[in-house]
Structure 1
Amino acid sequence: MSGDKTTITVDRDVALRCSKLARELGMSFQKLASDALRIVEEVVKDGGSPMDLLYTWRGMKSMSATDTIALPMTILLKFFEDLQPGKFTPDFYEAGREIGIAMSHEITFADLVKRPLIFKILLPLRSANNRETEREIIFTLAIPPYSKRLTPLFSAYIRGLLDAYGYTQHKIEVREHIIEVIMYKSAQT
């Protein structure tokens, strides 16, 4: 670590909490702050924001609470090659509900709406976007084109996740490899 130092201004409560944490971990506050800034630098260089990193971490914590594993899409497709994917729709719904319950303790629904890329932690998505109108929230999720056969399973998973957050009145439309989730704001339970 370089001997050069600089002073930055941060919120006092953040500095106090981080200083206490550094002491508890047996590291210097300077090392903790420098490591954190290196991480943020990498995320921002790739087009993200520090808050994206926070919600990604919270999503990962939620996944670990439900014994979730990440699988390459090609492996998942092989599992369902000789099976009827529709047979597993209830299982995917329940898995989505389970992760939704865990996530709701870490990530508010408002934060999920602001950061739809959180869905990329949960599903093999190429992109995740949203748009909000006065009456609707619409998520547009693009899965890899070769995995269209699994869209009923992914849709059930999303339905379970949203139900766990209390949004039971939603519509899911599938076009090719695009899953569009339409939720009506007045329908929140």
Structure 2
Amino acid sequence: MLSMTSFRMEYPSGQRSVLGPALFNIFVSHKDSGIECTLSKFADDTKLCGAVNALEGRDAIQRNLDRLERSAHVKFNKAKCKVLHMGRDNPKHKYRLGGEWIDSSPEEKDLGVLVDEKLSISRQCTLAAQKATRVLGCIKRSVTSRLREGILPLCSALVRPHLQCCVQLGGPQDKDMELLERVQSPRR
């Protein structure tokens, strides 16, 4: 069983820059000492992950959340903090950040990838197929020539990247592969 807690940091006064996240990560990199769970940081996101097989696992995650809250010089945006419970028979414990309970979520988007509690990519494949279909519709409406030499490069450049991200992300099931292939098949 695995319980994952995902956070998004918010910078003071709402100012953002390209250099800001890099400087922030350098500034808080020493704050990782004493963290028992897996801690990942990327730009303005911080993720804390830990296995929850017993109450000790739950308590370890809560201790780490408390430590992060105390040591953060930048406030967490608690409205964007979510708990994603993964794994079969997960007890789905509740966690606090400061004095507030963190909401649970059945799925979260992380770096453009939709992660759900079953680690299934079916929803990701469905969204990719919908986006690719919309792009195909735009190509169909805006390009007057139906010659293969004109359409094929457009589809390769604009449609295929949406469909390939699902395949490289993980092994889609047969129904997901059929959905992605249906987008590419010519309409009759």
Q: TM-score, normalised by structure 2?
A: 0.30
Higher helix share: 1
Higher strand share: 2
Q: TM-score, normalised by structure 1?
A: 0.30
